[in-house]
Chains A and B, each alone.
Chain A
Amino acid sequence: MVKAIVLTGYGVNCEEETAFAFRKAGAEAEILHINDLIASPNRLQEAQILAFPGGFSYGDDTGSGNALANKIRNNLWEQLVDFIEAEKLVIGICNGFQVITNLGILPGIENRKPQRTVALTHNNSARYECRWTSLKPFSKKCAFTKGIDSIRLPVAHAEGKFTASPEILKQLNESGQVVFRYVKGEELAKGEFPFNPNGSAEDIAGICDKSGRILGMMPHPERNIFFTQQPDWNLQRERLRRAGKEIPEESAGLKIFRNAVEYFR
């Protein structure tokens, strides 16, 4: 069975729904405290998927994701690189995305060394934004997004503005590492609030590494697993009822977790 390790501790708070999403997608999922992993780093070898869930590690103090990234870099760096080099999957969601960019494994490590070239910084509103966004996938290589044409997911963060130099943005585009962009209907959001909820450069909501096996994204796929989690499910239900159609139980976010599990089948 495919196993996912979902890290927790120090203010991470989406570990339960993330583990549930993996289980629903057919994986075995274990919530593991970061200190327990530091105490037995070889436990990483048990898993095929490593998830850095959302939350508020260290309360975003010293920059979102920074303090937890420091702790991981100080204690688990070699094992983490081994995990990545073993061609396994890594996903960082929201605070998890912030952690792995600060950690320097996204957009990618080089010669086993961290590369910190992109950042997630304060939203343009300088405020926490909890709202649903529409996204379109742009990467052909990302292992998590196969078969997704468009998807709606909620964001909930204070520091989600994707920032990188023009050179890095160019590289990310050229190597197909831009996974999600915020859109307004069929068009790109072009920075327009609230479609692009934070002012991210080029409407970028998620990126992957060059291999497509490490994904970081601000929106929360684990919060769109059930039909009733969608913001307009009541309207959709009414539409389906009147058309005499069955009302589904599941929702679109599950596909991202299913893709991860499928990858190893």
Chain B
Amino acid sequence: MGVSLTRLEVSFQNDARAQITKKSIEKGGFKAIEALSLNDVYTISSDFSQEQLHQAAQLLHNPVTQTFSIGKPLAPKEFDWAIEIGFLPGVTDNVGKTASETIRGFFGEQAKDARAFNSTLFFLKGNFSQEEAQSIGEHLANPLIQRIHVKSREAFLKDNGMNVVAPFVKLHEEPKADTVNLDISDDELVKLGKHGVPDKVGADGKESRRGPLALDLPSLKVIKEYFAKEGRNPTDIELESIAQTWSEHCKHTIFAAELDDLKKGLFKGLIRAATEAVRGQKGPKDNCISVFVDNSGAVSFDENFMMSDKVETHNSPSALDPFGGAITGIVGVNRDTMGFGMAAKPIINRYGYCFASPNDVKLLYRAKGKGNPILPPERVLSGVVDGVQVGGNCSGIPTPVGFMYFDERYKGKPLVFVGTLGLMPRQVNGKPGHEKKANAGDAIVVAGNRAGLDGIHGATFSSEALSSGSPATAVQIGDPITQKKMSDALVKEARDQGLYSSITDNGAGGLSCSVAEMAKECGGCTVDLDKVPTKYAGISPWQVWISESQERMTMAIPKENVSKFIDLMERRGVEAMVIGEFNDSGRCVVNSNGKKVLDLDLDFLHNGLPKKVLQSKPMRKGVKEMGFTEPGDFGKALLDMMARLNICSKEFVSAQYDHEVQGSSVIKPLQGKGRVNGDAAVVKPVFESNKGIAISHALYPGYGDIDTYWMAACAIDSAIKNLVAVGAKLEDIALLDNFCWCSSDEPERLWQLKKAAQACFDFAVSFGTPFISGKDSMFNDFKGFDEKSRPLKISVPPTLLISSLSLVKDVRKSVSIDPKFEGDLVYVLGLTKAELGASEYYRMRAEAAGDNKAIDGVVPHVNADKAKKLYTSLSGAIEHGIIASLQPVGLGGLGVALAKKCIAGQFGMKVDLRKVPSIGIDRNDSLFFSESQSRLVATVAPENKIAFEYALKDCEFARIGVVGGNFLEITGLDGGKAANLAVKGLEEAYKKTLRDY
């Protein structure tokens, strides 16, 4: 019997997904749908008999809740439109993969070629036109990765259902390496760098190119020179390989460049210099173990373990496909943990999203004439939230903390931060766990997923601005289960059996980066590309070499361990293959089809990149105050603040990210009876120990418009303060930096960057908190068109995310944000100043006044000496157990902090603004909403009053009121009642904005 395709349709009797999909479509602006149902479809390619197909259906449906049909449609009685959404060829289809494995697992050898493809069929009842049905399809799918097929009821009945589609990948090209002529004009070289290697001219006579190399002219000239010396032109794979290795994404050329008087550049001269200075200061108390040299940075946890941390961004892919971009982001940064040292175990995920308002429905376009529209912010938000949910939850890694920050300038390019902490034994097989070395003679082994065309040019693409030429193959979907199997096999077994000598992940640049990077450890490598497992035939050598297909790790394995390693992987359901050998030849050599297609000097590959020299140009701005009048209704101003996107509850995210898995949760994302989002989390990663890890983050992109120096200083202060508030001590805190800049080829932007980096140095050193890892993404710009085809450019505001982590010596002493008892005393710690420049309050006022472009004023400054004194005193009080609750003051100032406390504890408070320690403030709103740094609000039991005040005797603080009742009752600076707000009302304001997401 020959191979044929059969549709198996499975339908739920009652499907919660259908209801939610219906709601989502209606929210997307379409008219009401009378009814919606859906089928899971498996298109099976096999030589099965009817009976075998029936058996397969038994495996793939649940008889209690589902019905199925083979080879004929399973449609509801009444519907008007059928919309099927399936994957395009080559796109990761996890359900299809599991279905294939299930079928093969049951039938065994006879079904070894059987395959299943998953799609979803929606039936809609409602009065829609063909166009409307089509755009509903587009609402449900992403045309970059999915096919949408719409049929009217008539067509569906006439055709006897939907078409049978199996998205096999068919490539016709003969896989070989081409030579690229570099003997061309400078103009041609520039074109080569910008648009990539020319392909054969297509049937339409148009020249097409393979996508950006992101190499500038000076780099291309150096490459040309190198090959002139070698006496030949490069092959395409050589050029692509160099482009990957030299990309901004991999080499951080801007942070490495000489900038003005900073000969060593921003990274070595400021960021790493700060760490060196801190480590020097701390001497024997230095807790850094591995900084800036590996996939993650690491600090000490206890005598047995170290903790690693890494925060990545996945901005460009998330703009094109929010779900795929976000899931590959989180699953990718998990590999930075697995690829740290000898492989750490991922124990905490963290996230941070910068979006435009989901209420902004005006589209932008990548091409003229309304071509290639961007996804609306609402879809970006829900897709990203969902991607990290699936990636994190499926991997069994808790996600206890994160943030969402909104600014309209994230509309063209959202920022998606994802981070993972890992736990690693200090000693692995008698050697330090953070050290590794590939040795000459070790086999090069790649494990995990297969290489495909998905994820080509990710590294070079993210080094470029997002425009109409952005490659769709840069989009991929993660396969967290394939990675989970590999992660468990490596971290829980192979590592401790000492089977490999070095390991790294395959991220940007794929094998071209991971193998060449490890080859540095021993001095050379030879790879046989034919051995690399691929998803389908017909992929060119350069594509296999640079493919960023996810879920792959590269290992150096001593010859004697190879069979043991491969066997272990096989028993864990993980594919692993020897693809070459490390050596000390000084060359990176790649063979394909018996021919040498790449032969590069390793030193040139890694160090040949010409160093950039950059100049910045001051972008000074006089500070002027905004001159808003005091609001008539102060209480309403607070309610409006609570409802703002940057302040309101993000419960819908926290509750769908598993933060209890691994049984490590201590201070949770939602705190108190009122479930308020905290700024920091504490986890207890080792069952037998009461030591914990606190993590937090902070960013103030708004301040950057006025002053990036103080923007960075405030983020550092907040990221530290948030940790101190849950029980960390200053001396244990370490930081990570993520710069997401824009237009980094403009001298003014570089000036802003330099200022921010300078603050990173100054405040990391003053606080004694080292940077241990960082990442930058320098071109977060969108170039496109509005609906009238007018060109526009949207640059994200210069964004610096500071992430923080710390040991917590005893988690049992940690403190949550919610007040616990009526009658407890309310304290404000720290000084409030007239610092409202670019504050959330000013932004609100400016928006109300219809002009949010001109936000100005004094941004908060940080006094590190005073802050240190406060944090140290506070840690002492926490240690003594005399603080009942603590809330750091951040966006929205004191007012928002007090309101959050009321909601969290479900208690009112009586507070008197006259008592708040302040300077230069004579207005209730300025006092209440100033975002001065280094402040917290505490509640303390009356019996601990004296002890608490004694502990803080060297700091600025004041008792401003008492916990009790159901109202937040505020006495203003004039002694009158400034506001009296029901806690229920505050809670409603805080929770309503994103409730329906």
Q: Which among B12-20, B284-292, B299-307 touches the partner chain?
A: B12-20
How many angstroms between the C-alpha atoms of A74 and B481 in the bound complex?
Answer: 21
CB-based contact B98/A59 at 8 Å: yes
Q: Which residues of A contact B394 (CB under 8 A)?
A: 11, 56, 59-60
Q: Which residues of A contact B661 (CB under 8 A)?
A: 13-14, 54, 156, 223
Residues 192-234 (chain A) with a chain B CB within 8 angstroms: 199, 220, 222-223, 225-229, 231-234
Whether A262 sits at the interface, judged by CB under 8 Å, is no
CB-based contact B63/A130 at 8 Å: no
CB-based contact A234/B816 at 8 Å: yes
How many angstroms between the C-alpha atoms of A75 and B226 in the bound complex?
Answer: 59
Shortest distance from the beta carbon of A210 to any chain B beta carbon, whole Å:
19
CB-based contact B815/A16 at 8 Å: no
Residues 657-688 (chain B) with a chain A CB within 8 angstroms: 657-663, 665-668, 671-673, 684, 687
Interface residues on A, range: 35 or more
Closest to A24 in B: B687
Whether B480 sits at the interface, judged by CB under 8 Å, is yes
- Interface mask (A51-79 → B, CB under 8 Å = 1, otherwise 0): 00011101111110011001100100000
- Interface mask (B30-63 → A, CB under 8 Å = 1, otherwise 0): 0000000000000000000000000000011111
Q: Which residues of B contact A28 (CB under 8 A)?
A: none
Q: Which residues of B contact A165 (CB under 8 A)?
A: 64
Q: Which among A116-124, A136-144, A179-187 touches the partner chain?
A: A116-124
CB-based contact A229/B484 at 8 Å: no
From the candidates A74, A229, A233, name the one contacting B663 in the complex (CB within 8 A): A229
Whether A259 sits at the interface, judged by CB under 8 Å, is no
Whether A1 sits at the interface, judged by CB under 8 Å, is no
Closest to A237 in B: B812
Whether B101 sits at the interface, judged by CB under 8 Å, is yes
CB-based contact A130/B655 at 8 Å: yes
CB-based contact A220/B660 at 8 Å: yes
CB-based contact A8/B488 at 8 Å: yes
From the candidates B66, B480, B573, name the one contacting A35 in the complex (CB within 8 A): B573
Q: Which residues of B contact A131 (CB under 8 A)?
A: 655
From the candidates A33, A56, A125, A164, name the one contacting B393 in the complex (CB within 8 A): A56
Known pairs A20-B663, A126-B17, A126-B20; A62 contacts B684 (CB<8 A): no
Known pairs A231-B668, A235-B818, A241-B881; A13 contacts B395 (CB<8 A): yes
Whether B915 sits at the interface, judged by CB under 8 Å, is no
Shortest distance from the beta carbon of B83 to any chain A beta carbon, whole Å:
18
Shortest distance from the beta carbon of A235 to any chain B beta carbon, whole Å:
5
Known pairs A129-B656, A163-B64, A235-B820; A229 contacts B666 (CB<8 A): yes
CB-based contact A11/B65 at 8 Å: no
Shortest distance from the beta carbon of A166 to any chain B beta carbon, whole Å:
13
Shortest distance from the beta carbon of A152 to any chain B beta carbon, whole Å:
12
From the candidates A62, A129, A234, name the one contacting B102 in the complex (CB within 8 A): A62
Q: Which residues of A contact B621 (CB under 8 A)?
A: none
How many angstroms between the C-alpha atoms of A124 and B662 in the bound complex?
Answer: 26
CB-based contact B481/A59 at 8 Å: yes
Whether B559 sits at the interface, judged by CB under 8 Å, is no
CB-based contact B485/A70 at 8 Å: no
Shortest distance from the beta carbon of A237 to any chain B beta carbon, whole Å:
8
Residue among A8, A61, A247 with the highest chain B CB neighbour number at 10 A? A61
From the candidates A70, A74, A122, A229, name the one contacting B17 in the complex (CB within 8 A): A122
Whether B220 sits at the interface, judged by CB under 8 Å, is no
Q: Which residues of B contact A229 (CB under 8 A)?
A: 660, 663, 665-666
Closest to A127 in B: B656
CB-based contact A71/B660 at 8 Å: no
The count of A-to-B residue pairs whose CB atoms sit within 8 angstroms is 189
Q: Which residues of A contact B660 (CB under 8 A)?
A: 130, 154, 156, 220, 223, 229
CB-based contact A33/B64 at 8 Å: no
Interface residues on B, range: 35 or more
Whether B884 sits at the interface, judged by CB under 8 Å, is yes
Whether B501 sits at the interface, judged by CB under 8 Å, is no
CB-based contact A234/B814 at 8 Å: yes
How many angstroms between the C-alpha atoms of A239 and B89 in the bound complex?
Answer: 60
Residue among A9, A117, A238 with the highest chain B CB neighbour number at 10 A? A238
Whether A250 sits at the interface, judged by CB under 8 Å, is no
Whether B99 sits at the interface, judged by CB under 8 Å, is yes
Q: Which residues of B contact A124 (CB under 8 A)?
A: 16
How many angstroms between the C-alpha atoms of A125 and B24 in the bound complex?
Answer: 12
CB-based contact A70/B105 at 8 Å: yes
CB-based contact A17/B687 at 8 Å: yes
Whether A102 sits at the interface, judged by CB under 8 Å, is yes
Whether B5 sits at the interface, judged by CB under 8 Å, is no
Q: Which residues of B contact A121 (CB under 8 A)?
A: 12, 14, 16, 62, 65
Whether A36 sits at the interface, judged by CB under 8 Å, is yes
Whether B866 sits at the interface, judged by CB under 8 Å, is no
The B contact surface, by secondary structure, is mixed
Q: Which residues of A contact B348 (CB under 8 A)?
A: none
Shortest distance from the beta carbon of B395 to any chain A beta carbon, whole Å:
7
Shortest distance from the beta carbon of B992 to any chain A beta carbon, whole Å:
17
Whether A264 sits at the interface, judged by CB under 8 Å, is no
From the candidates A39, A74, A161, A237, name the one contacting B16 in the complex (CB within 8 A): A161
CB-based contact A130/B396 at 8 Å: no
Known pairs A10-B573, A11-B394, A234-B816; A126 contacts B19 (CB<8 A): yes
From the candidates A16, A58, A59, A74, name the one contacting B106 in the complex (CB within 8 A): A74
CB-based contact B485/A9 at 8 Å: yes
Q: Which residues of B contact A263 (CB under 8 A)?
A: none
Closest to A129 in B: B655
Whether B263 sits at the interface, judged by CB under 8 Å, is no
Residue among B393, B485, B572 with the highest chain A CB neighbour number at 10 A? B393
CB-based contact A102/B62 at 8 Å: yes
Shortest distance from the beta carbon of A227 to any chain B beta carbon, whole Å:
8
CB-based contact B16/A234 at 8 Å: no
From the candidates A20, A33, A59, A164, name the one contacting B572 in the complex (CB within 8 A): A33
Whether B148 sits at the interface, judged by CB under 8 Å, is no
Closest to B15 in A: A122
From the candidates A20, A61, A239, name the one contacting B94 in the complex (CB within 8 A): A61
Whether B639 sits at the interface, judged by CB under 8 Å, is no
Whether B443 sits at the interface, judged by CB under 8 Å, is no
Q: Which residues of B contact A116 (CB under 8 A)?
A: 62-64
CB-based contact B64/A128 at 8 Å: no
CB-based contact A70/B106 at 8 Å: yes
From the candidates A8, A74, A130, A238, name the one contacting B820 in the complex (CB within 8 A): A238
Whether B867 sits at the interface, judged by CB under 8 Å, is no
Q: Which residues of B contact A247 (CB under 8 A)?
A: 812
Shortest distance from the beta carbon of B19 to any chain A beta carbon, whole Å:
7
Whether B70 sits at the interface, judged by CB under 8 Å, is no
How many angstroms between the C-alpha atoms of A11 and B480 in the bound complex?
Answer: 9
Q: Which residues of B contact A242 (CB under 8 A)?
A: 821, 941, 943
CB-based contact B105/A20 at 8 Å: no
Closest to A235 in B: B820
CB-based contact A119/B64 at 8 Å: yes
From the candidates B14, B393, B815, name the one contacting A234 in the complex (CB within 8 A): B815
Whether B566 sits at the interface, judged by CB under 8 Å, is no
Q: Which residues of B contact A226 (CB under 8 A)?
A: 663, 684
Known pairs A14-B661, A33-B572, A56-B481; A61 contacts B389 (CB<8 A): no
- Interface mask (B382-419 → A, CB under 8 Å = 1, otherwise 0): 00000001000111100000000000000000000000
Closest to B651 in A: A131
Q: Which residues of B contact A56 (CB under 8 A)?
A: 393-396, 480-481, 484
How many angstroms between the C-alpha atoms of A226 and B811 in the bound complex?
Answer: 11
Q: List 17 A-B contacts (CB under 8 A).
A: A9-B488, A13-B661, A35-B571, A55-B396, A56-B393, A56-B396, A59-B98, A67-B98, A121-B65, A122-B17, A124-B16, A129-B656, A130-B657, A156-B660, A165-B64, A220-B660, A229-B660
With A66-B59, A130-B660, A234-B820 given, name 6 new contacts (CB 8 A): A17-B687, A59-B481, A61-B97, A70-B102, A223-B661, A237-B812
User: B-side interface residues toward A, CB under 8 Å?
Assistant: 12, 14-17, 19-21, 59-66, 94-95, 97-99, 101-102, 105-106, 389, 393-396, 479-481, 484-485, 488, 571-573, 655-663, 665-668, 671-673, 684, 687, 811-812, 814-816, 818, 820-821, 881, 884-885, 941, 943
